[in-house]
A and B are shown apart, each in its own frame.
Chain A
Amino acid sequence: MTTEQHDSSVYEQIRATDRFQELRRRYRSWAFPMTVAFLVWYLLYVVLSAFARDFMAIKVLGNINVALIFGLLQFVSTFYISWAYARHSAAKLDPLADELRGEIEKADK
């Protein structure tokens, strides 16, 4: 397969290039804060369900209370973040990753 023919130091050289560092920065600077954000948002919901039951029980619309709306908002945020990630990676990650991969594979031959 393709991996064995690489010298390990080749990978270290690629990793040190500005463009790879840029790719990694673009990936991590989006994915890490977003992960923290959705985990905090989700845990807030769980903790409120456990410890703020009077608040969660407030009725908003007919029999629909804060707890249910909060839960449905978790669906909305999950769908939104998935969509945003797809957009981010198509615009910022894929072109750079494809470019780098193309060059490495070309240099290989």
Chain B
Amino acid sequence: MSHTTLATVLFLLFVVGTLAITFWASRQNKTAADYYAGGRAFSAAQNGLAIGGDYMSAASFLGIAGLIALYGYDGFLYSIGFLVAWLVALLLVAELMRNSGKYTMADVLAFRMSPRPVRTAAGVSTIVVSIFYLLAQMVGAGALVGLLLGITSDSGKALTIVGVGILMIVYVVVGGMKGTTWVQIVKAVLLMGGATLVTLLVLGKYGFNLSGLIGEAAAQSGKGKAFTEPGLRYGTDAQGIWGKFDLISLGLALVLGTAGLPHILIRFYTVPTAKDARKSVLWGIGIIGTFYLLTLVLGFGAAAMVGSEAIRTENAAGNTAAPQLALAIGEAIFGDIGGTILLAVIAAVAFATILAVVAGLTLASSSSFAHDLYAHVFKRGNVTEKQEILVARVSAFVIGAVAIGLGILAQAQNVAFLVALAFAIAASGNLPAILYSLFWKRFNTAGAVASIYGGLVSALVLVIFSPVVSGRPTSLIKDMDFHWFPMENPGLFSIPIGFLCGYIATRMSKEYNDAKYAEMEVRSLTGVGAEKASTH
């Protein structure tokens, strides 16, 4: 049996298993709280795994392993930013959001503001961030199938992306939050298992000597000592000083982005109390931190055993380093069949990873469309729960279709890099408004709207006129050059712009609602009036 067949079989097993869970979950979905928040009945440990499942995307698994394998140390920076970011969520956001919100991020932002403009802004920003993130996952799916099935034609990759898209739509539309959460849990367990297995095999091969592994990786990378030092990816001589600032920009976007990601924020609503939200984040940090330590070994292992050149030949952006490593280490230890099996397992796990994250993102964005834009803005609250959920399901279809379309476009980019752009947009558009809402008494409608649009638009504009979109061989549009912004990641500018817009607009408007802020403070810190778990 070839690795293609085996991987396909394993992946189909995952699909069948998770579909069964999804249909089981759908029979228990009765109310809006079930559809949007899984009935708020998940335990902290379950939700912690699901947080890991939502967060450890193709970017973490394929993207970071690839960046480390190609650029050594500079790839490791991603892992650290992605992890430290969870402290912002833990200390400042998770519990307070659980206590004062209901289904979406906008529930918290609109709490003491004029609801329509704020919900509109938050809904738009949720959808934009989610689509950027979705795009990255779709690119990962395309890269995987290229390696696995040997399909390099654009139409073959496009077909895979369509398949992934259809599956994710089914998970979300049928299973809602409950089904999606279970898919995340299953995927998190599989991913941790797969990554641990390959890590142990790699470490075993190098006698559990990390220094030896790193030395071999440096030798096989063709870069020597520089491979273990900062600077191969960012701030090279060609990029000059802007490359160094780009690194700082990336670092800022990563650490401030997580607490602004809509699909992560809605995870806090799936547990019964704020205390459970805290515990689930603690679980999440433990799982995610462990996973990133594993990716360090995976990345260096791929460089050592496969070699940077062989990885670059397969996928110029490095997205296939982890499965290539699985094949190499399997062959080295168990012979050809072992390599085939391990590659199949890792490829199936990676597909499962992509599918689960994509489902989480689709749920977040379609929920926001239905709950914020449709129910509160278009219909001014005059909708039944049934209508709202119907709209959520329909918009899951539409967003799924958009993601499929865009995913077919951006195949040449590294997945982790694309996700970092989504982080930058979330950190610029969402985080300032969230923090101001929770902690600044004087914050008001004008400030919320200005900080969301200011951060969102500045991040988008800077990305459009960056070398990511035009002017370089790796750009999305290769044969045009209209870039004037020198950095790839906009965070260094767009995040302060988001905060500043919110501050200035707040100061310029006299409006603010102190009574509602009192309610928000009391509720967010004590849990009075927090949404209860449904019992059935």
Chain A residues close to B by CB (< 8 Å): 1-3, 6, 8-9, 11-12, 14-15, 20, 23-24, 27, 31, 34-35, 38-39, 42-43, 45-47, 49-51, 53, 56-57, 61-65, 67-68, 71, 74-75, 78-79, 81-82, 85-86, 89, 93-94, 97, 100-101, 104-105
* B70-107 interface (Cβ within 8 A of A): 73-74, 76-77, 79-81, 83-84, 86-88, 90-92
Residue B509 CB within 8 A of the other chain: no
* Residues of the B chain whose Cβ atoms lie less than 8 Å from the Cβ of A34: 91
Of B377-385, B471-479, B520-528, the one contacting chain A is: B520-528
* Residues of the B chain whose Cβ atoms lie less than 8 Å from the Cβ of A67: 73, 228-230
* B496-519 interface (Cβ within 8 A of A): 514-516, 518-519
- Whether the pair A51, B244 counts as a contact (CB closer than 8 A) is yes
* Residues of the B chain whose Cβ atoms lie less than 8 Å from the Cβ of A50: 230, 234-235, 244-245, 247-248
- Interface residues as binary, B52-78 with A (CB distance below 8 Å gives 1, 0 otherwise): 000000000000000000000110110
- Whether the pair B248, A86 counts as a contact (CB closer than 8 A) is no
- Interface residues as binary, B172-202 with A (CB distance below 8 Å gives 1, 0 otherwise): 0000000000000000000000000000000
- Whether the pair A20, B83 counts as a contact (CB closer than 8 A) is no
Residue B402 CB within 8 A of the other chain: no
Of B139-147, B209-217, B347-355, B453-461, the one contacting chain A is: B209-217
Interface of A is mostly: helix
Residue B531 CB within 8 A of the other chain: yes
Known: A2-B528, A11-B519. 17 other contacts (CB 8 A): A3-B519, A11-B522, A14-B518, A27-B525, A31-B92, A49-B77, A50-B244, A53-B230, A56-B230, A63-B215, A68-B76, A71-B77, A75-B80, A82-B281, A93-B525, A101-B528, A104-B526
* Residues of the A chain whose Cβ atoms lie less than 8 Å from the Cβ of B17: none
* Residues of the B chain whose Cβ atoms lie less than 8 Å from the Cβ of A3: 519, 523, 529
- Whether the pair B251, A35 counts as a contact (CB closer than 8 A) is no
Cα distance A79–B235 when bound, in Å? 30
Known: A11-B518, A63-B215, A68-B73. A74 touches B84 (CB 8 A): yes
Can you pick out 21 interface pairs between chain A and chain B where the beta carbons lie within 8 Å of each other? A2-B529, A9-B515, A11-B515, A11-B522, A12-B514, A23-B526, A24-B525, A31-B91, A35-B88, A38-B84, A49-B247, A53-B229, A57-B230, A62-B214, A67-B73, A68-B228, A74-B84, A75-B289, A82-B90, A82-B281, A104-B526
* Residues of the A chain whose Cβ atoms lie less than 8 Å from the Cβ of B234: 50
Give the number of A-B contacts (CB < 8 Å). 162
Cα distance A6–B519 when bound, in Å? 9
Known: A53-B229, A75-B292. A86 touches B80 (CB 8 A): no
Residue B223 CB within 8 A of the other chain: no
Q: Which of A39, A61, A62, A105 contacts B528 (CB 8 A)?
A: A105
CB proximity of B291 to chain A, nearest CB, Å: 11
- Whether the pair B526, A100 counts as a contact (CB closer than 8 A) is yes
Of the listed residues A12, A39, A57, A82, the one surrounded by the most CB atoms of chain B closer than 10 A to its CB is: A82
* Residues of the B chain whose Cβ atoms lie less than 8 Å from the Cβ of A45: 80
Residue B278 CB within 8 A of the other chain: yes
Cα distance A34–B199 when bound, in Å? 33
CB proximity of B78 to chain A, nearest CB, Å: 11
- Whether the pair A12, B515 counts as a contact (CB closer than 8 A) is yes
Q: Which of B91, B230, B286 contacts A35 (CB 8 A)?
A: B91
Q: Which of B214, B247, B282, B518 contacts A63 (CB 8 A)?
A: B214
9 tightest Cβ-Cβ pairs between the two chains A and B: A62-B211, A46-B251, A8-B515, A11-B519, A49-B230, A50-B244, A3-B529, A11-B518, A63-B214
Size bracket of the B interface: 35 or more
Of the listed residues A45, A63, A93, the one surrounded by the most CB atoms of chain B closer than 10 A to its CB is: A63
- Whether the pair A35, B285 counts as a contact (CB closer than 8 A) is no
* Residues of the B chain whose Cβ atoms lie less than 8 Å from the Cβ of A2: 528-529
- Whether the pair B83, A78 counts as a contact (CB closer than 8 A) is yes
Q: Which of A8, A47, A56 contacts B229 (CB 8 A)?
A: A56
* Residues of the A chain whose Cβ atoms lie less than 8 Å from the Cβ of B73: 49, 67-68, 71
- Whether the pair A78, B91 counts as a contact (CB closer than 8 A) is no
CB proximity of A12 to chain B, nearest CB, Å: 4
CB proximity of B365 to chain A, nearest CB, Å: 26
CB proximity of A45 to chain B, nearest CB, Å: 7
Cα distance A14–B523 when bound, in Å? 10
* Residues of the A chain whose Cβ atoms lie less than 8 Å from the Cβ of B9: none
Q: Which of A35, A78, A79 contacts B92 (CB 8 A)?
A: A35
- Whether the pair A78, B289 counts as a contact (CB closer than 8 A) is yes
Q: Which of B211, B247, B518, B527 contacts A97 (CB 8 A)?
A: B527
Cα distance A53–B522 when bound, in Å? 48
* Chain B residue at smallest Cβ distance from A60: B211
* Residues of the B chain whose Cβ atoms lie less than 8 Å from the Cβ of A104: 522, 526, 528
CB proximity of B37 to chain A, nearest CB, Å: 14
CB proximity of A21 to chain B, nearest CB, Å: 10
* Residues of the B chain whose Cβ atoms lie less than 8 Å from the Cβ of A94: 275
* Residues of the A chain whose Cβ atoms lie less than 8 Å from the Cβ of B522: 11, 14-15, 20, 104
CB proximity of A100 to chain B, nearest CB, Å: 5
